[in-house]
């Protein structure tokens, strides 16, 4: 197999690609080179879902087949090497020239007006349809809505689209030949590393961690690429030219998620979907943040390692990880080192990361008995939005007193940061209103937030104090409130689960 040519299974047919820039997006290639114009270009930044496609890949030692929705506008073409790409044109072909049940249901339920967004919705519904066929299940409305968080409709309204998500399971079943797809991908699988180049720009995709570290030592200024949900915007929106890219997506060791030695170790290449699934098994309080972290296609592409390695002060994962005492593992040809995640951030977008190092993993101590933990984000939109403030709170209660509190915020400073004065004000005190008052006063001294387009400094101060009080109300010893009683959206969300007999 030519290690300098990209090979993709496109709508079931193998295709070889060469002669295009490594930063060519899947979206541009589908529309321009292949004439598959059903995949639309909307925002070109992963927000609207008009370009949603489904990508199939083999995962793990057993080569299990995984299908996931992705935003074609954010995928550099070489990252699809060895994978299957399905566009909306495939749906009708799969149905033998008729409409696929996902498409027919959109017609039956009047789920389209202008139609621009419809192909993206159809692909998200198709992915759900296939997943439920494998599971032998039928989704409830909450799952349908979650599936569609990455798809924006400006004219139809979501009710008929959600109804289509239910209706498609009432139509005659149509199964994807997953075994054939798996065989085709096995035939496409490469053993050697992809080394793709065009007009001086290079895309290097080593298959081992050792190979990646050696390449990093030789190319210290090359762009490290994981999911591309941020780097893709450098090209699409900032029009940056990337001369050399080191892609870590083919290094299996960086995608592993394991529990050992009392920690949950999440490789830097593990997707946000896989990482949050592992975290939420131990800390179910992360469930809401998981659901509200971008959208499903973004979580399928993006990585937890990329989120905290980026170093943005508004990255939603970092406050929770800091509050849980996470450590970041860095690796180079010189060896490994680890440091507390909060110490990784030196200043705005500056990290304690040498030129020849990569972020290898994040290690989160498994929860000890008696841990009280919560994390919340505040943003202008509920789904798929950037935080104005994100807060995370963790402490232990022993005989009613606070021990080892860890409180962290995003959006309140130039980096994700612990509220050290607030922690000191709480440590050792009874968890009561008096302690809360002292902590609120200290919190005001911990941060000097900025005013920007997302929120004013005053709002951020009040919001942070409000989240601290919310944490107190849910974890106090005397009559703690259930999450449904402090969650304002529960009163408006028909899919929110409110325990019987509780007033939301």
Cα separation, 3 vs 396, whole angstroms: 53
What would the DSSP string read from start to end of 204-243? EE-SSHHHHHHHHHH-TTSEEESS-TTHHHHHHTT----S
Cα distance between residue 277 and residue 221, in whole Å: 33
Strand order in the sheet with 64-71: 13-17, 6-10, 84-86, 52-59, 64-71
**Predicted local distance difference test score (pLDDT) of residue 1:** 54
| Angstrom distance (rounded) from CA 273 to CA 300 | 6
- Could you give the C-alpha distances from 123 to 55, 208, 376, 397, 425, in angstroms and in order? 10, 33, 30, 48, 51
Three-state SS at 482: coil
> Residue 188's pLDDT is what?
94
Res 43: pLDDT: 96
What sign does the CA torsion over 233, 238, 239, 241 have? negative
Q: Is 34 helix (H, G, I), strand (E, B) or coil?
A: coil
Report yes or no: 18 and 5 within 8 Å, Cβ to Cβ: yes
Question: pTM (2 decimals)?
Answer: 0.94
The total of other beta-carbon atoms located within 10 Å of residue 429's CB is 17
- Which domains are assigned to the chain? 6-89+179-252 (3.10.20.30), 101-173 (1.10.150.120), 256-490 (3.30.465.10)
- 276 token code pair: 């949050």
Distance CA 237, CA 232 (A): 8
C-beta neighbour count of 462 within 10 angstroms: 14
Distance CA 275, CA 283 (A): 12
Taking the C-alpha atoms of residue 406 and residue 375, their distance in angstroms, rounded to an integer, is: 12
The residues with which 206 forms a beta bridge, in sequence order, are none
For every one of its 504 residues, what pLDDT tens digit does the chain have, with 9 covering 90 and above? 577 899 999 999 999 999 999 999 999 999 999 999 999 999 999 999 999 999 999 998 889 999 999 999 999 999 999 999 999 999 999 999 999 999 999 999 999 999 999 999 999 999 999 999 999 999 999 999 999 999 999 899 999 999 999 999 999 999 999 999 999 999 999 989 999 999 999 999 999 999 999 999 999 999 999 999 999 999 999 999 999 999 999 999 999 999 999 999 999 999 999 999 999 999 999 999 999 999 999 999 999 999 999 989 989 999 999 999 999 999 999 999 999 999 999 999 999 999 999 999 999 999 999 999 999 999 998 888 999 999 999 999 999 999 999 999 999 999 999 999 999 999 999 999 999 999 999 999 999 999 999 999 999 999 999 999 999 999 999 999 998 888 866 554 544 443 333 333
Cβ proximity of 112 and 174 under 8 Å: no
- Spatial separation of the C-alpha atoms in residues 244 and 172, rounded to whole Å: 49
* Two structure tokens written together for 324: 């849980």
The reported pLDDT for the residue numbered 500 is: 34
């Amino acid at each position: 197999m030519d290690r300098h040519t990209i090979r993709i299974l496109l709508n079931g047919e193998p295709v070889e690609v060469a002669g295009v820039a490594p930063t060519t997006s899947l979206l541009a290639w589908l529309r321009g080179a292949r004439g598959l114009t059903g995949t639309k270009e909307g925002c070109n930044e992963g927000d609207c879902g008009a370009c949603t496609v489904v990508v199939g890949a083999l995962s793990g030692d057993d080569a299990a087949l995984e299908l996931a929705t992705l935003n074609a506008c954010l995928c550099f073409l070489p990252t699809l090497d060895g994978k299957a790409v399905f566009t909306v044109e495939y749906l009708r072909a799969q149905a033998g020239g008729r409409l696929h049940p996902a498409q027919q249901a959109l017609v039956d339920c009047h789920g389209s007006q202008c139609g621009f967004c419809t192909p993206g919705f159809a692909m998200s519904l198709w992915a759900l349809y296939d997943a439920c066929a494998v599971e032998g299940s039928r989704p409830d409305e909450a799952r349908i809505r979650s599936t569609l968080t990455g798809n924006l409709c400006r004219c139809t309204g979501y009710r008929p689209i959600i109804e289509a998500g239910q209706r498609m399971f009432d139509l005659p079943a149509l199964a994807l030949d997953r075994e054939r797809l798996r065989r085709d991908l096995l035939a496409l699988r490469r053993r050697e590393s992809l080394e793709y180049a065009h007009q001086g720009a290079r895309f290097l995709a080593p298959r081992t961690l050792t190979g990646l570290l050696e390449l990093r030592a030789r190319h210290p200024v090359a762009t490290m690429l994981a999911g591309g949900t941020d780097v893709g915007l450098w090209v699409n929106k900032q029009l940056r030219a990337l001369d050399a890219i080191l892609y870590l997506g083919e290094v299996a060791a960086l995608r592993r998620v394991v529990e050992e030695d009392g920690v949950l170790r999440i490789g830097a290449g593990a997707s946000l979907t896989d990482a949050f699934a592992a975290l939420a098994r131990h800390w179910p309080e992360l469930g809401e943040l998981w659901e509200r972290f971008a959208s499903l296609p973004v979580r399928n592409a993006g990585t937890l390692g990329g989120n905290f390695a980026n170093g943005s002060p508004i990255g939603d994962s970092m406050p929770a990880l800091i509050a849980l005492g996470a450590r970041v593992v860095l690796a180079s040809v010189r060896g490994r080192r680890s440091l507390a995640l909060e110490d990784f951030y030196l200043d705005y977008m500056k990290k304690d990361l040498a030129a020849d190092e990569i972020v290898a993993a994040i290690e989160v101590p498994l929860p000890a008995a008696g841990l009280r933990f919560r994390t919340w984000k505040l943003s202008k939109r509920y789904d798929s939005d950037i935080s104005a403030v994100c807060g995370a709170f963790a402490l232990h209660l022993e005989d009613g007193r606070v021990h080892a509190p860890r409180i962290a915020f995003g959006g309140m400073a130039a980096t994700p940061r612990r509220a050290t004065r607030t922690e000191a004000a709480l440590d050792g005190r009874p968890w009561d209103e008096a302690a809360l008052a002292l902590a609120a006063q200290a919190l005001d001294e911990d941060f000097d937030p900025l005013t920007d387009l997302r929120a004013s400094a005053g709002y951020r101060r009040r919001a942070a104090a409000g989240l601290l009080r919310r944490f107190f109300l849910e974890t106090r010893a005397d009559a703690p409130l259930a999450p449904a009683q402090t969650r304002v959206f529960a009163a408006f969300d028909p899919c929110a689960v409110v325990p019987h007999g509780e007033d939301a």
